[in-house]
Amino acid sequence: MTPVDNIPAPAPAQPTGVKSIYITSAEGHSGKSTIALGVLEMLRRSVRRVGVFRPVARSVSSRDYVLELLLDHDGSDLAYEQAIGVTYDDVHEDPERALSRIVERYKAVERECDAVVILGSDYTDVGSPTELGFNARIAANLGAPVLLVLGGRRGQGSDELLGHTEARSADEMRQITELALVELRNAHATLVGIISNRSDPGHLEKIRDAIGLASRDAADSLAASAAASGAGSGSGGSSADTATGAIPVQPRRIPVWAIPEDRVLVAPSVGGIVESIDGTLVLGDPRLLAREALGVVVAAMSMRNVLPRLTEGAVVVVPGDRAELLLAVLMANASGTFPSLAGIVLNGGFEVPEPVMRLIEGLDPKIPIISTELGTYETAVRITSTRGRLAADSQVKYDNALGLFEQYVDGKQLLELLDVSKADVVTPLMFEYGLLDRARLAGRHIVLPEGGDDRILRAASTVLKRQVARLTILGEEEEVRGRAAELGLDIDGAAVVSPFDAVLRARFAEEYQKLRAHKGITYDMAFDTVADVSYFGTMMVQLGLADGMVSGAAHTTAHTIRPAFEIIKTRPEVSVVSSVFLMALADRVLVYGDCAVVPDPTSDQLADIAVSSSETAVQFGIDPRVAMLSYSTGSSGSGADVEKVREATALVRAARPDLPVEGPIQYDAATDAVVAAAKMPGSKVAGRATVFIFPDLNTGNNTYKAVQRSAGAVAIGPVLQGLRKPINDLSRGALVPDIVNTIAITAIQAEGLSA
């Protein structure tokens, strides 16, 4: 690769092993930030420290929100200022000096990372001679291969909300590709792949073929030129073609991927619209301001003409003095027979009459009702000019972006082209992504009993978009789907089942009565019991209608797992149900058990917990080396507590002679090689334990929380073990990512138990 003229070549340096990729586009509004997010997440699964670099900052007057989004999800500790090269003003003033500065600042980032995602400029200004050409020059000088993103639609800005954008044809995409490849070739940039983003969903294959043809033609042309040059100079050698004397050049075929259009990704949020129109929230749920607005309807006509024009996810602009239209739109949104709206804007600065406002307040609307002083025309112009952002706080957009990338881009092939090898360490992020990947491959069906909890609905949307598992959500279908629509969530892929479903309830009651007849349970009693969501969900798992259950966000642990003890019961070889936490430290994952279920296990139960925990470790790719913890190591101490651990260790060795186990052993001797060499030399477990079995719940629960808080570990769990089929309990303070992880874990357990 030839450095650009007038830019001094950097001094030779030792290979760093850092892999980088430069993501750029041929024009604005191509959605390359969503591609950058997908690439970033893909790299984080394989390497420990993934950095982000922005050669040309999007704005000098405010922080670059795209860069902030990516930095929020990277795997390094880079500060915002470190991740920026220069500004557009710097490029205008002196392009060559700006390029030199970019290289210098990039090298500082490269030194701190194992891989770097470089995001090209955003066409908010114009570089010289063309913006793509300048980005290509940067990529060549950074030694970063280019991932070219092409926009699959014509029209932008106000066209988005008005629905006036049009898909580009395969032939148009071929022409754009040809022009872009000329710019890359002229700058000596290396192309690693092409993505057609926001493509026509009905013609993905045609678009891929057309772009692929253009890239092959360019590669063939370049190869022919190189061959002709070689023939003209008389070069040859053992590999030369004997007839012509030219060196055969094998052009590399560039992979091409096409991602379909997703309206949600380009839609502005209702909150963004509020800012654009200088609006004020009058009524409604402030949390729903995060919902994406998929269209705009100007209600400047009679009610009979407005209602048929309402569309899913639209913002409706109503003149503030048209109370009858406001009431009609509110009733339509609440009826369930019209599309679910994202918001209502009252324009003109008129106050809603007091009796009408009192009537509306009595209806307790959740939909945001916003007031603005602007007139109808100005309101509509500002709304349609509001740009959608892939905001860090939009979980829906985040899920959609990653879901599309994972579905339509061959991440494995891209990693191979970048020559990224998997790291030896396992960070919390890498472990969590590994969970999702394994669950995706397992393809299991999980039931979520708490359909009335917004966190469950948000997690369900993520799971469905990322294809982590198939889902059934318990609740009344109209209520569950209605609330999901209010939140702007897509849960169409999930089944929604009422726990009062007559057919299933009768079937479950009959089965439960049989299982509990020895306890005096009658059919009528069973019929009442199974309507409880925890029992209903557990019966689904028992009868094979679901592979596992996740609950507890809105219920106690006892409420969640009691039905499992009564119905699912333990595996034949297990005497006690216990739990583990998967403790993701900075560079590895450990297993802690039992920290949530058994208060004071006997030696037999402790041995059972150790064996179950080692099997759980294997399920999640952790090589089990079991430390039976105590306040004493080896034979150095005595007492009833130590003897219990010593006896449990002997039972584990008898039951599983193949399993490396040591005990009693203190925590420091189990984890620290230096301490282990002094206290227990020659042990296969001491100093390198991966599974830690605590003598009682008090010790285990406090230890996992201490490590979580003081060492910054990510505690994933509790994961229940020992049941015939997987049931897992959530903390009532569980966040959406916790729920997603638990669903993935349950799917992986279900796969293991069915093997």
DSSP string for 336-394: SSSPPPSEEEEESSPPPPHHHHHHHHHH---S-EEE-SS-HHHHHHHHHHPPP---TT-
Q: What's the pTM value of the predicted model, to 2 decimals?
A: 0.81
Q: What is the mean pLDDT of the chain?
A: 86
Which positions ≥6 away from 298 have C-beta within 8 Å? 317, 376, 380
Residue 407 three-state SS: helix
What span, in angstroms and rounded, lies between the C-alpha atoms of 749 and 738? 16
Helix ranges (DSSP H) in 587-639: 603-619
Q: What is the pLDDT of residue 512?
A: 95
User: And the tokens for 362?
Assistant: 């009595």
- Do the domains 19-233+241-261 and 268-385 sit in the same CATH topology, yes or no? no
Q: What is the pLDDT of residue 549?
A: 97
Domain limits of the chain? 19-233+241-261, 268-385, 426-569+739-746, 576-722
Q: Which residue type sits at 507?
A: R
What span, in angstroms and rounded, lies between the C-alpha atoms of 495 and 487? 18
Q: What is the pLDDT of residue 285?
A: 92
Burial class (CB in 10 A: 0-12, 13-18, 19+), 337: exposed
Interstrand relation of 578-584 and 589-593 (parallel, antiparallel or unpaired): antiparallel
Q: What is the pLDDT of residue 230?
A: 53
Question: Is-contact 582 591, C-beta < 8 A?
Answer: yes
Place of tokens 């970019």: 102
Mean pLDDT of 725-753: 91
Query: Does 4 have pLDDT greater than 70?
Result: no
Residue 216 three-state SS: helix
29-38, 64-73, 177-186, 196-205, range with the lowest pLDDT: 64-73
Total residues found in the chain within this entry = 755
Question: Is-contact 309 333, C-beta < 8 A?
Answer: no
Residue 732 three-state SS: coil
Residue 549 three-state SS: strand
Q: What is the pLDDT of residue 225?
A: 56
Mean pLDDT of 112-125: 82
Strand partners, 471: 446
Q: What is the pLDDT of residue 522?
A: 94
The string over 478-506, giving b where at least 16 C-beta atoms fall within 10 Å of a residue's C-beta and e elsewhere, is eebbebbbbbbbbbeebebbbbeeeebbe
Place of tokens 């189990």: 670
Q: What is the pLDDT of residue 750?
A: 93
The closest alpha carbon to 617, from 646, 588, 655, belongs to: 588
What span, in angstroms and rounded, lies between the C-alpha atoms of 143 and 189? 8
Helix ranges (DSSP H) in 249-313: 263-266, 270-276, 303-306
Query: Does 557 have pLDDT greater than 90?
Result: no
164 confidence band (pLDDT: 50, 70, 90): low
Mean pLDDT of 211-233: 64
752 confidence band (pLDDT: 50, 70, 90): confident
Q: What is the pLDDT of residue 713?
A: 86
3-state helix, strand, coil in the chain (%, to 5): 45, 15, 35
User: And the tokens for 4?
Assistant: 């650009």
CATH of 268-385, one of 3.90.1150.10, 3.40.50.12280, 3.40.1390.20, 3.40.50.1980: 3.40.1390.20
Q: Per-residue pLDDT tens for 387-438? A: 777 765 678 888 899 899 999 999 889 988 887 766 667 777 788 888 998 9
Strand partners, 584: 589, 714
Which uninterrupted H or E stretch holds 643? helix 640-655
What span, in angstroms and rounded, lies between the C-alpha atoms of 180 and 194? 11
683-686: long-range pairs with CB below 8 Å, 24+: 684/625, 684/660, 685/625, 685/626, 685/627, 685/660, 685/661, 686/627, 686/662
In Å, what is the CA distance from 438 to each residue of 39, 255, 351, 441, 660? Answer: 19, 26, 56, 5, 26
CA Rg value for the chain: 30
Neighbour tally for 451: CB within 10 Å = 27
Query: Does 265 have pLDDT greater than 90?
Result: no
Helix ranges (DSSP H) in 47-94: 65-72, 88-93
Burial class (CB in 10 A: 0-12, 13-18, 19+), 604: middle
The closest alpha carbon to 116, from 253, 16, 4, 30, belongs to: 16
Mean pLDDT of 536-541: 96
Angle ∠(476,479,481) on CA atoms, nearest 5: 100
In Å, what is the CA distance from 635 to each residue of 630, 684, 754? Answer: 11, 17, 41
Which positions ≥6 away from 626 have C-beta within 8 Å? 610, 613, 614, 652, 659, 660, 661, 662, 663, 685, 689, 690, 691, 693
CATH of 426-569+739-746, one of 2.60.120.10, 3.20.20.140, 2.40.30.10, 3.40.50.10950: 3.40.50.10950
Mean pLDDT of 366-379: 93
102-106, 353-357, 426-430, 452-456, range with the lowest pLDDT: 426-430
Q: Per-residue pLDDT tens for 83-110? A: 899 888 888 888 889 889 999 999 999 8
What span, in angstroms and rounded, lies between the C-alpha atoms of 707 and 427? 16
Which positions ≥6 away from 172 have C-beta within 8 Å? none
User: And the tokens for 558?
Assistant: 């006892």
What span, in angstroms and rounded, lies between the C-alpha atoms of 96 and 102? 10
Q: What is the pLDDT of residue 60?
A: 62
Q: What is the pLDDT of residue 16?
A: 46
CATH of 576-722, one of 3.40.50.10750, 2.70.98.60, 3.90.650.10, 3.10.180.10: 3.40.50.10750
126 confidence band (pLDDT: 50, 70, 90): very low
Topology adopted by domain 19-233+241-261: Rossmann fold (3.40.50)
Query: Does 740 have pLDDT greater than 70?
Result: yes
Query: Does 3 have pLDDT greater than 50?
Result: no
